[in-house]
Amino acid sequence: MTTRAWTWTYEGYDPGAERLREALCTLGNGYFGTRGAASETSEGPAHYPGTYAAGVYNRLISTVAGRQVENEDMVNLPNWLPLRYRVRPEGAAPGPWLSPDGPHLLTHRQSLDLRHGTLTRWSVYEDDAGRRLRVEQCRLVHMGEPHLAAQRTSFTAEGWAGTVEVESGLDGDVRNAGVERYGDLANRHLTHLRTGAERDDTVVWLRCRTVNSDIRIALAARTRVTDRPAHPPHARLTVGQAVQTLTIPVGRDETVAVDKTVALYTSRDPAISGPQTTAVQEVRRAADFPRLLASHHRAWERIWREAALDVPGEAGRILRLHLFHVLQTLSPHTAGLDVGVPARGLHGEAYRGHVFWDELFVLPFLNLHFPEVSRSLLGYRHRRLPAAIHAARSVGRRGAMYPWQSGSDGREETQELHLNPRSGRWLPDHSRLQHHVGSAVAYNVWQYCQASGDTEFLHTDGAETLLQIARFWASSAVWDPALERYRIRGVVGPDEYHDGYPDATVPGLDDNAYTNVTAAWVLTRALELCRTLPLSHRHQLFDRIRLAPSEQDGWDDIAHRLHVPYHAGVISQFAGYGDLAELDWEGYRKRYGDIRRLDRILEAEGDTANRYQASKQADVLMLGYLFSPRELAGLFRQLGHSLDDDSWRATVDYYLARTSHGSTLSSLVHAWVLARVRREDAWAFAEEALAGDVADVQGGTTAEGIHLGAMAGTLDFVQRGLTGLETRDNALWLDPAPLPQLSKFGVGIRYRSHWDVDLRIRAQRVRIAVPDGTDGPVRVVLDGVESVIAPGTTRRLELPGV
């Protein structure tokens, strides 16, 4: 792998690495994404073409381990990539269809151009007589016109003349088969496939619909030879495939180019007469490839301007790739859609395109660049508030219980059984007890409003969401007279290894510290909101959700008296964590090498992670990710504990020694927390977080989709983690903690009406530039000292301790 600042290049064709490259070379625009798969073939285990439109889900029933289970999946849509070719040199018989898997491939290279949002693939094929065909293919998923994609394939006949035969198709014969572990589950989501051709075969289309959610989908394709109207395509149609064939004469050393333009619509789209009609119409009207490419470049240029991140070296290159994939999944187009944050991007099928708490790692970054996207993602949650209220009611609670995994309508989508590939056993999945997802939603509402100054949202949908989550926490808290504390029992924390006490007959744990402290925070913010809501909004909202003053008194009490368990002088991950057995970490490392998925190893041994003080990922330490040291100490004070630097450090050390980092989120959170506690160790975790997807650290999982939370989290690690940036009380608060390995960087942020506030850290200095023409000055607080920076001016501040 060689990289330059704005390109990711893979030299050579490596079937074993192809699926990983497909995921990392995915192109998307927030509306849909297409994996960077070969166009020549989709056969064999090396290839998994996938196209996913944000929010297009379907549910199917499968039978596994003798049980019927229902799963909802983000649907793999018909493949628009197919374009294969073969040559017929003058006086010779046609050669075979060429593909990177075939014997005729001489060289191959592919490169992702991040600045321009294109994937280019170069191949040279040579036939048995030594005649070479040079192929260059440039692909885009249009960032300006979200329904369009295009692909130009150029053929150069090196030293011979003859014809190139091309088949360009839309393939509806697809399934959701991208994740091996899901192999036993039903996976045919598309039905009622039809194809057709229009206008003398210049356009073909394919339409279908999803089996259960009944979403209609249509793709239309126009394939033509550049500058050669005399060689029109011919259509060949079957039920599930629409193919255009072209036979193109090519002179000696001449280059001919074939352009394929595709439009994708679904019945979820507004302002259309029907997916098929509109797709055909759009593709007919679409500009030619050079003009599409130019407008695509311009759209990316605008996006990059709003997401400026300037980090030198290899870290900067990886961060740019992360930013690219975050923006391809959640772009300005997302703002018009009813979709959430898919944990694995629009890049693959792992976790079925579901929406988890991972948005906690994504929105804080977006808030300071694309606040309208954040707002739309919060809208996805608010529109599913009735489902969350219903879920709470169904377990006898009040308020909103957001699902651990969310999809189309906001019901709980967490699988009931999951497969341990190591043991081959299907096991009950209790991760739905991770009710802390509600705190993540509330935290994002608050953070978004603080960063954007969107009081309209804060006082309406935002307030409603936050208050209903607070109400859920209040109704989950039970008073324990012996402890004289409120307890939240029967939950699972962020660490998914522990879903119950050893030998217990019911799942769930008590007093998960992360859950309780974030619940206290939510209740506190809810009360603050109740006090500060403008009267008119307050009356309306309180009346609608029937919130009485007495209920608020109860919240206040709980917010001060939730139980936080301790053992051995550290915060306990949950009550009883300290009583669990210690794991022989060295022994397991020696025996298994990679023990990130210790849960699977132990289960395969007939044991369970529930018995050990061994965590999959940051759990207690998540508190240091969410809250600044000042805010965290305040929260603990409120709960009747003192959290000083020493006790926090002891807690960090304790869990650091007992965590296997089985989630990409873990190294990120550890880097963030250690940057303030144990600076010398932070970089190793930052490096691991950066390597997460590009080096496929979790062993094969990236091929199934990128880890969007970790990718966005690394961006935010620079933006907020290392700068200590907080947006509160109408000011930017800074508390920089640059690492020696990352002590020089810059971020351009959009803070309220101030577009592009430039924040640069250089060793011991902070430089803040507020552009001219912005609304009023920006208040910045560093080390307790406030600076008011006027538009058009730059201020240099010294870091404390210098």
**C-beta of 47: minimal distance to ligand BGC in Å?**
25
**C-beta of 357: minimal distance to ligand BGC in Å?**
5
Three-state SS at 310: strand
Residue closer to ligand BGC, measured from CB, 600 or 676? 600
**Does residue 30 belong to the site contacting ligand BGC (CB under 6 A)?**
no
Encoded one letter per residue, x for contact with ligand BGC by CB under 6 A and - for no contact, window 486-505 reads --------x-x---------
Residue closer to ligand BGC, measured from CB, 417 or 545? 417
d(CA 229, CA 325) in angstroms, rounded, equals: 37
Cα 607 from chain centre? 33
**C-beta of 494: minimal distance to ligand BGC in Å?**
6
d(CA 357, CA 618) in angstroms, rounded, equals: 14
Contact region with ligand BGC (CB under 6 A), list: 199-207, 350-358, 684-692, 755-763: 350-358
Residue closer to ligand BGC, measured from CB, 116 or 498? 498
**Does residue 351 belong to the site contacting ligand BGC (CB under 6 A)?**
yes
| 723 and 761 Cβ atoms separated by less than 8 Å | yes
Catalytic site residue 70? Answer: no
Residue closer to ligand BGC, measured from CB, 241 or 613? 613
**C-beta of 619: minimal distance to ligand BGC in Å?**
10
- Other C-beta atoms closer than 10 Å to the C-beta of 308 total 16
What is residue 583's DSSP assignment? P
| 177 and 188 Cβ atoms separated by less than 8 Å | no
Judged by phi (left if over 0) then psi (alpha if -120 to 50, else beta), residue 97 lies in beta
Q: Which of 665, 674, 689, 782 binds ligand BGC (CB under 6 A)?
A: 665
Stretch 36-95 residues interacting with ligand BGC (CB under 6 A): none
Cβ-Cβ contacts under 8 Å for 592 (sequence gap 6 or more): 601
Give the DSSP H/E element, type plus range, for residue 250. strand 241-250
Residue closer to ligand BGC, measured from CB, 404 or 426? 404
| 469 and 492 Cβ atoms separated by less than 8 Å | no
Q: What are phi and psi of 349, to 5 degrees?
A: -105, 0
Encoded one letter per residue, x for contact with ligand BGC by CB under 6 A and - for no contact, window 594-633 reads ----------------------xx----------------
**Does residue 358 belong to the site contacting ligand BGC (CB under 6 A)?**
yes
d(CA 342, CA 405) in angstroms, rounded, equals: 10
Stretch 222-281 residues interacting with ligand BGC (CB under 6 A): none
| Binding residues with ligand BGC: total (CB under 6 A) | 12
d(CA 329, CA 347) in angstroms, rounded, equals: 8
Stretch 132-171 residues interacting with ligand BGC (CB under 6 A): none
**C-beta of 708: minimal distance to ligand BGC in Å?**
8
Contact region with ligand BGC (CB under 6 A), list: 190-198, 255-263, 351-359, 651-659: 351-359
Cβ-Cβ contacts under 8 Å for 65 (sequence gap 6 or more): 417, 426
Residue owning tokens 């879920």: 391
**C-beta of 373: minimal distance to ligand BGC in Å?**
19
Give the DSSP H/E element, type plus range, for residue 249. strand 241-250
| 552 and 527 Cβ atoms separated by less than 8 Å | yes
**C-beta of 197: minimal distance to ligand BGC in Å?**
42
Beta bridge partners of 167: 84, 245
Q: Which of 357, 402, 426, 745 binds ligand BGC (CB under 6 A)?
A: 357
**Does residue 663 belong to the site contacting ligand BGC (CB under 6 A)?**
yes
Residue closer to ligand BGC, measured from CB, 282 or 359? 359
Size (the chain), residues? 802
Residue closer to ligand BGC, measured from CB, 114 or 706? 706
**Does residue 371 belong to the site contacting ligand BGC (CB under 6 A)?**
no
Beta bridge partners of 123: 108, 135
d(CA 507, CA 494) in angstroms, rounded, equals: 15
Residue closer to ligand BGC, measured from CB, 385 or 668? 668
**C-beta of 229: minimal distance to ligand BGC in Å?**
50
**Does residue 343 belong to the site contacting ligand BGC (CB under 6 A)?**
yes
Stretch 462-491 residues interacting with ligand BGC (CB under 6 A): none
357 has binding-site annotation = yes
What is residue 287's DSSP assignment? P
**C-beta of 362: minimal distance to ligand BGC in Å?**
11
Taking 3-state DSSP, the helix, strand and coil percentages for the chain, each rounded to the nearest 5, stand at 35, 30, 35
What is residue 37's DSSP assignment? -
Residue closer to ligand BGC, measured from CB, 18 or 619? 619
CA-nearest of 80, 33, 40, 71 to 55 is 33
Q: What are phi and psi of 263, to 5 degrees?
A: -120, 140
**C-beta of 189: minimal distance to ligand BGC in Å?**
21
616 has binding-site annotation = yes
Cβ-Cβ contacts under 8 Å for 528 (sequence gap 6 or more): none
Contact region with ligand BGC (CB under 6 A), list: 144-152, 175-183, 270-278, 352-360: 352-360
d(CA 37, CA 622) in angstroms, rounded, equals: 36
Tell me which amino acid residue 146 is.
P
Q: From the CA atom positions of the chain, what is the Rg in Å?
A: 27
**Does residue 410 belong to the site contacting ligand BGC (CB under 6 A)?**
no
Residue closer to ligand BGC, measured from CB, 117 or 713? 713
**C-beta of 208: minimal distance to ligand BGC in Å?**
29
What is the signed CA dihedral for 592, 597, 601, 603, rounded to 10 degrees?
170
CA-nearest of 180, 712, 68 to 422 is 180
Give the DSSP H/E element, type plus range, for residue 64. strand 57-64
Q: How far is CA 331 from CA 140, 317, 378, 519, 627, in A?
A: 15, 20, 15, 31, 27
**C-beta of 781: minimal distance to ligand BGC in Å?**
33
Contact region with ligand BGC (CB under 6 A), list: 353-361, 505-513, 620-628, 669-677: 353-361
Active-site choice (496, 603, 688, 726): 496
Contact region with ligand BGC (CB under 6 A), list: 144-152, 354-362, 473-481, 732-740: 354-362
Residue closer to ligand BGC, measured from CB, 202 or 617? 617
Q: What are phi and psi of 434, to 5 degrees?
A: -80, 70
| 82 and 171 Cβ atoms separated by less than 8 Å | yes
Contact region with ligand BGC (CB under 6 A), list: 112-120, 349-357, 465-473, 627-635: 349-357
Instruction: Quickly list DSSP for 71-125.
Output: EEEEPPPPB---EEEEEEETTS---PPP-TTSTTEEEEEEEEETTTTEEEEEEEE
| 334 and 377 Cβ atoms separated by less than 8 Å | yes
Contact region with ligand BGC (CB under 6 A), list: 153-161, 356-364, 528-536, 563-571: 356-364
617 has binding-site annotation = yes
Contact region with ligand BGC (CB under 6 A), list: 205-213, 306-314, 355-363, 504-512: 355-363
Residue closer to ligand BGC, measured from CB, 233 or 713? 713
Catalytic residues: 496
Q: Which residues sit in the known binding site for substrate?
A: 357-358, 616-617
Residues binding ligand BGC (CB under 6 A): 343, 351, 356-358, 494, 496, 616-617, 663, 665, 709
Q: Which residues sit in the known binding site?
A: 357-358, 616-617
